[in-house]
Amino acid sequence: MKKIFLLVLLMGVALCQAVAQQDAKAENILSKMADSYRKAGGISLTFGGTQQGKLLLKGNKFCLESGGIKTWFDGKTQWSYVEQNEEVNVSSPTPEEIQSVNPYALLTAYKKGFNYRYVGEKTRQGKRGHEIILTPKTSQDIKSITLNVKENSSPVYIAIQLQNGEKQEFQISSYRTGVNLPDAVFRFDKSKYPEAEIIDLR
């Protein structure tokens, strides 16, 4: 479950597609973020906070490394490597499963799923940005998402408040666009993990 929320958080840039009919200021900022993401090409970001890790994105592909787990998704097949167990789970996610783990899919999954409001300019980790709070339109595990974004549309801070009181915070420490990411980056390379047991769940 934490991995799902992590991906939601990291792709605050994806949540920018949650524009509907509310706060005009928030809508303008979110729309600019959405446009920036679409034009970004390959994206590389690192993050700290509740968890630390690295995320690579290109179109509907991603590679996430955090908490001893590395996940690759090439647009069709997903590989999840658990370092502690030396296991790789291979699956072909359904559209619903993709929406829960694939940041790119969240672009459409959250398009109409959130209300949002502009809070104002706030400084997070020494970086000033525009802060927006998103709340789901229907009841779910997520109570609210706080997104802080700089003028150049790059995310600074993302936090998720859960209904059970748990809060996860992520500070984006680096965010680069236009990164050259070959498709092989988003596929599991068995030669790099020769001892791993492959569990095919397809």
pLDDT in tens, 112-138: 677 889 999 999 888 899 999 988 888
pLDDT in tens, 78-92: 999 999 999 999 999
**CATH fold for the domain made of 2-200:** outer membrane lipoprotein receptor (LolB), chain A (2.50.20)
Which residues of the chain form beta strands (DSSP E)? Answer: 43-49, 53-58, 61-66, 69-73, 78-82, 87-91, 114-124, 127-136, 142-149, 155-162, 167-177, 197-200
Listed by start position, the domains of the chain span 2-200
* Proportion of the chain above pLDDT 70, given as a percent: 80
